[in-house]
Structure 1
Amino acid sequence: MSVRQRRTLPRLLGAALLLAAAGISCVGAAPLSHSAADSTTRPLGQVVPVPASVTPAGQPYTLTSATRIRIDEDSRDSRAVADYLAGILRPSTGLSLRVVDQDEARGGIRLRLSGTEKSLGDEGYRLQSGRDGVTLTAHRPTGLFRGVQTLRQQLPAAVEKRTRQPGPWKVAGGTITDTPRYAYRGAMLDVSRHFFTVEQVKRYIDQLALYKINKLHLHLSDDQGWRIAIDSWPRLATYGGSTQVGGGPGGHYTKADYKEIVRYAASRHQEVVPEIDLPGHTNAALASYAELNCDGVAPPLYTGTAVGFSSLCVPKDITYDFVDDVIRELAALTPGKYLHIGGDEAHSTTHEDYVAFMEKVQPIVAKYGKTVVGWHQLTGAVPAKGALAQYWGLDRTSPAEKEQVAAAARNGTGLILSPADRVYLDMKYTKDTKLGLAWAGYVEVQRSYDWNPAAYLPGAPAEAVKGVEAPLWTETISENAHIDQMAFPRLPGVAELGWSPAATHDWEAYKTRLAAQGPRFEALGIDYYRSPQVPWPAAR
C-alpha cells in the first residue's frame, strides 16, 4: 500500500460507514457501527480476518433457551459442522442448542448448503443475521466451517470459555458475504527441533481454525530429529527421533499418531502438508543409517542449532531407494495434495549434485500422486510442473536470489510467501523478547502484518502468488506457552493477509480489531504477547 493510499483510506472508510448506515454494502475493514444494538453486541464484521463485504442492518439476534441449530436434512457434513459449533457454544452459554433438521424448528441458527451458490466457492460463506435468527449459507461444507469462525467471533469473547458465563449472547444484524483472497493459507510447526505430542498439535490446529488457516505444514525431519515412523527404515524414528535440541528425549509419531493428526486437522477443515527436508537437514537420517553417508560412517546424533552441515549422498543409488520408500509411505498416510521436500540450506551439497538430486526426487513425489512443495532454493534447480516454491527470503536478500525465484514464478512455478523478516513466528518481537531468534531481525506485530503478498517479490507476477504461510521454528520453543507467545498475536495478521481482500488492508483499522481479540485469547487460554503496538483492552 502506498503512502498516498494509506492517507486516503481513513476518508474512504468514513464514507463506507455512511454507506453502511444507509444499508449499502461496504467492503469490510474498519470497526463498523451497527443500528439498534447495545454495547453487548460486537459490531458486524469486527472480526479477524476481516470479511470481504459487510452490510450492517436491523436488530441483533440473541441466543436463548429456544435456540436450535438447524441443518439440511440428511446432511452429514452440515451435521458435523453443527456439532462442532454446538460444542463451542454450549459450555459458556449453558444452552442446550440442539442440532435439528431444518423442518423441526424456525429461527435459531441455520447452516445451509446450497448447490446454486457457486460464487462462494469452496470456502466462502454468507452470514445473515436478524432478530429472528442467523443463517449461514455456503456452497461447500468448508464454507460453513469458515462461517462458523466468523459467527463465534461475533459473539462475546466469553463464549470461548469452558464454564458457564452470564451473557447475553448477541449477533449483530446484517449480512456478511465472504470469500478468501488466496487458496493457500498456512502455518508451519517445526516438530523436529523440539518434539510436540499429538495433543499439542491438536491444540494448535484448533487455534489455527479460528482464523481460517487451511494448511498445517508439519516439519517432520531435520538434523535434530526424525519424527515419523517409516516401516521400511525403522531406525529413522526409533534412533533418529530419540533426541532434540538441547539433548531432550525427543519422540516420534507412530503411523496411527500421524493419521490421528490428519483426521483431526480434516475435522477442522485443514490439510496437512508433511515435510521431509532433503537433501540437507538430514543428520538424524544419516545417524540412523550409515549407508546413507558417502563414506559409510554414521555421524553422531545432533542436538545443536547450526544448519547447512549435513547432506544425503547424492551419487549413491541407495539414497533414492531411501527417498522412494519414505515418500511412498508418507504419501499413503496423507490424503492432501502436497508433499514438501525441503531443499533449503543444502550448503554441503554442490550445486550440480543439488540439481541432479531434485531431478530424481521430484518425479518420485509425482509417482505417488502428490504435488511438490519446496523451499525457494528449489528454483535453483528446475521445479516440477505445478510445484510450489516457498519463499522465505528477507528484504535484504540479494537481488540475484530474488530474481531467480521471480523467474521461476514467471515460468509457471507457484509461490507461497513466508518472508522470514515478516512472518517467521520464531523471530523475536524486540531485543527484550525472551524466546526466539533474531537472525532475520526483530518482527513486531505491525511488521508482520503491514506488507502486500501480491507485490512483495519484485518481478514475480501477482497471479503466481498462491498464498502465505507463517512458519514457527522451534529451536527455542518447547511447550504450549512458548507457541502462544510467539504465534499470538502475529498469526492472526498473517491469516488476514491470506484471507481478506487487499482493499481492506490497513494497520490502523486492523490493530483495533486485533485488540478486541485479546479477551478471546484469554478465554481460550492463549498466553499471548502484549505488544505495545496494539491498544489492548484494560485488564478486568
Structure 2
Amino acid sequence: MRRRTRTTRARLMAAATGLLVAASALAGCTGPDQNGDAVPGIIPAPTAFELREADEPFRLTPDSRIIADGPGAADVAALLAETLRAGSGYELPVVEGGAGEAADLVLAVRETTAEGADAAAAGLDAGAAFGGPDAEAYTLELGGSGARIDAAAPAGLFRGTRSLLQLLPAELSGSAGAAPADGFAAPAASVDDRPRFTYRGAMLDVARHFLPVEEVLRYLDAIALLKLNVLHLHLTDDQGWRLQIDAWPALTEVGGETSVGGERGGFYTKDDYRRIVEHAAARFITVVPEIDLPGHTNAALSAYPELNCDGVAPAPYQGIEVGFSSLCASPERAEATDRFLADVTREVAELTPGPWLHLGGDESLATTPEDYRDLLARITAAGASTGKTVIGWHEMGASRELPRGTIGQYWSFVEAEDEAVPLTMSFVEQGGQVILSPADAAYLDMKYVDDPQTALGRTLGQDWAKGPTTLDEAYAWEPADIVPGLGEADILGVEAPIWTETMRTIDEVEFMAFPRITAIAEIGWSPAGERDHENFFARVASLATRWDASGTVYYPVRGVPWAD
C-alpha cells in the first residue's frame, strides 16, 4: 500500500555480511546536541538537558522505593516497578505519597494551573487523546539525593520514566543478573521535556501477514521506550480481514483465512482487540484502527457476494498487487454497501476508546473518479457518525465534502509529487490537519542499502519508494518543509508505517523497524532545528544493549558506532 505495484538478534543478522548485533552500550556520554549539552543515550532527544558531572549519581539499590504521588501516578509507578524488578531483582515497593529518600524514585502528578488540571484529566483517560503536548511534558531530576519525575498528567509521568530507563544501566531492561554491589547508577542530570507534535505514531500492517496478540504487545513495548504515542493497526486489506465484526461474521470466517503467499491467516476476536487496546493504554499509546476502504477490499468482497457489483464473490487473494478491488458504488448495491459501512464502523468504534478511526481511501484504482467520490462521502459519513474523527490517506482529499476536521495522512515523498500537494492541503482547507509519513524516509519496510539476508536466507522489504532507505535519510527530513503551504499548526504529527508483504513474524518486523524508527520518533518529539546526525547515531548505538536485554531485534546498520 502506498506502493505503486507492486529470530532473535544475532540469528536474524545478515548472513552475507556477517554483521552482528552490538552487545554493549557506548561508554560515557555522546557529543553535544543542538542545545550544546551532552545527551547520554536518550532518544528522542529532550527539549532541555543538563548533565551535572560534578554531582553524585543516583543509585538504585535494594533499599529503593517508588513513591507515587498524585492522581494516576500509582499505575505508572507499577509499570516502572515491574521493569526494574525484572532487571535488578530488587523488591522495589510502590508507596503511595510521602517524602523520598536518597535511593527512592518519586513520581508525582502536579496540577499547578488550570491548563495542568485539564492535561491531567485528559491523561487519566489513557485510551483517548492525551490533551496535547502539555499532558506529555515532564521534568526529571537525578542525583545523589534521589530521583524525581514531575508532570501535569500521568502520560507525562510515563514519558519521563522512559527517559529514566535510558539513563539507567541497560541490564535493567532485561532479566535480573548479578546486581552491582553499590547498586545501579544513573548520572546526575536535569531534564525538562515536552513533545513537538501531538501525534507520533507507528503503523503495523497485520493484514498482509497476521501477527498474534502477543507479538503486537511486544511491538507496543518497544515503541513505548521511544515515546511514540499511537499504534495505527492496518486491520484489513485484499489479503486478509483481521477483526471480528459480529454483524458480518464471514469477514473473518472467510476473509481472515488468507495472507500473502498462503502463509497463516488469523484474526483478532473482540477480546483480543481489547487486550491490545488495554496494553497500549497502560503505556499511554492510542490505538488507531484502520479499515481500508473502498479499495484494498478483496478479503471483504470474497466473503460477501452482495458487496460486489456483479453479485459474485472473487477468490481470496494471496499476492501483493494493489488497486484492483473496490466496494460497489452502484445504486443496486447501495443498501448492502451502506449497511456494511454502518455496521463495521460502529463495531470498530465501540471497541476503540481513542478519538480516531482510519478509513483508508488510498489506491482506489478500480473505481471511476465519480464513483470514488461517491463512496468516500458514504464511508466518511459512516465513520463520523460514530463520533470519531476520520483519518484517511492523502488521496481522500479528492473529496470536498469530508466531515469537518478529517485528518489526512501524507504518504508521498520528501520532495512532494505534484498531485499529492493539493490533495493533502484539501484536509487543511476543510478544517483538518495532516500526519506526515513520507514513504522514502518514514516507511520502515523499505529495504536497507546493503539488502541483508536474514539467517533464514530471506531478503526483506521493498524498494519502490525511490530505492532503499538509510538511517541518515530517515533522520534528515523536516515535517514543515515537505508540503508547500503546510504550516506547523497544520501538522498533527508524524508516523512510521511498516507494511508486511515480505515479513511473516514480529522478529522480521523489528529487524526492519529498528533502528530506523528511532529517527521518526525523534523527529516527532524533539524541537525543530538543525539535526546533529553524528550525535544521533551515537545515541542510537547506546540503545543496542537495551534492545539486546529486552529481546528487541534490530539490524546494525552501517554508520552507527555500535560497540564491539
- 1:427-447 residue CA offsets vs partner (Å, 9 max, x unmatched): 001252320111112101111
Q: Work out the CA distance in 1 between the residues paired with 2:501 and 2:321.
A: 10
Question: What corresponds to 2:312 in structure 1?
Answer: 297
Do residues 49 (structure 1) and 49 (structure 2) align?
A: no
Counterpart residue number, 2:200: 185
Instruction: Judge which range, 89-98 or 435-444, deviates more.
Output: 89-98
Q: Give distance in 2, aligned partners of 1:504 and 1:135.
A: 30
2:290 corresponds to which residue?
Answer: 275
2:441 aligned to which of 413, 418, 422: 422
Go from structure 1 to structure 2 and tell me whether the alpha carbon gap of 1:227 and 1:301 turns closer, same or farther (over 3 Å shift): same
CA pair 82-504 structure 1, distance change in 2 beyond 3 A: farther
Partners of 1:395 and 1:263 lie apart in 2 by 35
1:110 counterpart residue number? 106
- How many Å separate the matches in 2 of 1:95 and 1:389? 47
What do residues 330-370 of structure 1 show as CA deviations (whole Å, max 9, x unaligned)?
A: 11111100000000000001111111111122121121110
Where relative contact order (Cα < 8 A, 6+ residues apart) is larger, the structure is: 2
How big is the shift at 1:171? Answer: 1.8
Q: CA deviation at 1:407?
A: 4.7
The percent identity for this pair of structures is 44
Structure 1 pair 398/28, CA: closer, same or farther in 2 (3 Å)?
A: closer
Matched, 1:266 2:281: yes
The one-character-per-residue Cα deviations of 1:364-416 (angstroms, maximum 9, x if unpaired) are 11211100000000111123211110000024653133233235435533110
SS at match of 1:374: strand
Could you tell me how far apart the structure 2 residues matched to 1:386 and 1:412 are? Answer: 5
1:510 aligns with 2:536: yes
How far apart, in 2, do the equivalents of 1:309 and 1:148 lie? 46
**Residue in structure 1 matched with residue 160 of structure 2 by the alignment:** 147
Is structure 2 residue 301 aligned with structure 1 residue 286? yes
Question: Unmatched 5+ residue regions in structure 1?
Answer: 1-26, 34-43
Q: Give distance in 2, aligned partners of 1:156 and 1:309.
A: 51
Alignment map for 1:299-314 (pairs within 5 Å): 299-314=314-329
Q: Report the secondary structure of 1:399's partner residue.
A: coil
Q: Determine the structure 2 residue equivalent to 1:436.
A: 461
Q: Which segment drifts farther, 227-236 or 507-516? A: 507-516
Tell me if the contact between 1:30 and 1:46 (Cα under 8 Å) persists in the aligned partners: no
Counterpart amino acid of residue 56 in structure 2: Q
Shift, 1:161, TM fit? 1.2
Which residue of 1 is the match for residue 122 of structure 2?
none
Paired letter, 1:246: G
Unaligned runs of 5+ in 2: 1-31, 117-132, 453-458
| TM-score, L = length of structure 1 | 0.90
Q: Distance in 1 between matches of 2:33 and 2:68?
A: 28
Deviations along 1:39-91, one digit per CA (max 9) or x if unpaired, are xxxxx553000000112233211111221111126x4x211111111111112
1:95 aligns with 2:90: yes
Instruction: Tell whether the 8 Å contact from 2:89 to 2:177 is kept in structure 1 after alignment.
Output: yes
Q: Please report how far the alpha carbon of residue 92 of structure 1 lies from its aligned counterpart in structure 2 after TM superposition.
A: 1.9
Report how far residue 227 of structure 1 moved.
Answer: 0.4
SS at match of 1:121: helix
Q: Residues 23-172 of structure 1: matches in 2 within 5 Å?
A: 29=34, 32-33=37-38, 46-57=41-52, 58-72=55-69, 75=71, 77-103=72-98, 106-107=101-102, 108-116=104-112, 118=115, 121-167=134-180, 168-172=183-187
Distance 2:485 2:429 in 1: 8
Larger deviation, residues 162-171 vs 449-458: 162-171
For 1:531, what is the secondary structure of its paired residue? Answer: coil
Q: Which amino acid in 1 is paired with 2:294?
A: P
Q: Which amino acid aligns with 2:484?
A: P
Q: Which moved more, 1:162-171 or 1:54-63?
A: 162-171
Q: Counterpart of 1:401? A: 420
The equivalent residue for 1:241 is 256
Q: Does the 8 Å CA contact 1:416/1:465 hold for their aligned counterparts?
A: yes
Question: Using the alignment, how far apart are the partners of 1:177 and 1:398 within structure 2?
Answer: 38
Residue 460 of structure 1 and its aligned partner are, at CA, apart by 1.7
Deviations along 1:104-156, whole A, 9 cap, x unmatched? 75341000010016577111100011211011000000111000000000011
Number of matched pairs: 502
1:285 CA displacement: 0.3
- Contact (CA 8 Å) 1:125, 1:178: kept in 2 or not? yes
Q: Which moved more, 1:194-203 or 1:158-167?
A: 158-167
